[in-house]
Amino acid sequence: MTQRFGPKMVLIDLDGTLVDSVPDLTHSVDAMMTELGRPPHGEAAVRNWVGNGVERLVKRALTGTLDGEPDPADFDRAYPIFLERYTAHNGEHSRLYPGVAEGLELLAARGMQVGCVTNKAAQFTEPLLAALGVAAHFGIIISGDTLPEKKPSPLPLLHAAEHFGVAPAASLMVGDSISDVKAARGAGFPVVCVSYGYNHGLDIRDAGPDAVIDSLAELAGLLTTDGI
């Protein structure tokens, strides 16, 4: 039997859930590597590295591993290069995933409180949402540097719930990665994951979300009509 949800608030992750931002990130990573005199990585590698903020992405690009730590001097040289490139190209080739526009319209039609919770820095989050024409759908936008902690900490989710005056049990997190699942579990939120996002090549079903959907438009089939 399909699990159903009756939230008063829905929080949605950005990269890998709402937006495929890998093309812009790849351009910026590879431009950084070229300027450093190193070979570029290409989109396939970058696609496996995104999802934990741009600082971690730069560290992964420098080490070629998910958890490696580069020489601090290398990072200090590389990071400003990446920031300059990404600031210049953020949103140029990023696109909403299929079904996202329909899903957001569905939530708006239901009068739902909706927020965006991402680990991307605010200087990139807000311009990207604006460039893609969806910023107005969100009553709160919590970026990776908005609060002292970011996902997988539950703090951003609990902050949004407090902002809207909604209990965690009457909330829903929608994301694509184990970080989203961990944050939701820590905050006491139900969590739905999309099947197509950035989870480092792992099947998101193994993280144990309450449901998995192939498109944000499919959220309609999981929501009750009368709330909690």
Per the CB < 8 A criterion, the answer to whether 59 and 68 are in contact is yes
Mean pLDDT within 137-152? 97
Is residue 3 included in any domain, yes or no?
A: no
> Are both 39 and 115 inside the same structural domain?
no
Token pair for residue 88? 């210049």
Per the CB < 8 A criterion, the answer to whether 224 and 202 are in contact is no
Q: CATH number, domain at 119? A: 3.40.50.1000
Q: Which of 13, 15, 20, 30 is catalytic?
A: 13
Mean pLDDT within 120-143? 96
Number of structural domains found in the chain: 2
pLDDT in tens, 44-98: 999 999 988 889 999 999 999 999 999 999 999 999 999 999 999 999 999 999 9
Is residue 228 included in any domain, yes or no?
A: no
Domain limits for position 46: 22-89
Per-residue pLDDT at 201: 84
| Banded model confidence at residue 197, pLDDT cuts 50, 70, 90 | very high
Per-residue pLDDT at 228: 43
> Are both 102 and 188 inside the same structural domain?
yes
> Are both 50 and 159 inside the same structural domain?
no
Per the CB < 8 A criterion, the answer to whether 217 and 102 are in contact is yes
> Are both 16 and 43 inside the same structural domain?
no
13 is catalytic: yes
> Are both 43 and 133 inside the same structural domain?
no
pLDDT of 140 higher than 70 = yes
Per-residue pLDDT at 199: 87
**Percent residues over pLDDT 70 in the chain:** 98
> Are both 137 and 202 inside the same structural domain?
yes
> Are both 57 and 129 inside the same structural domain?
no
Given 63, 89, 115, the domain boundary residue is: 89
**Percent residues over pLDDT 90 in the chain:** 92
Is residue 60 included in any domain, yes or no?
A: yes
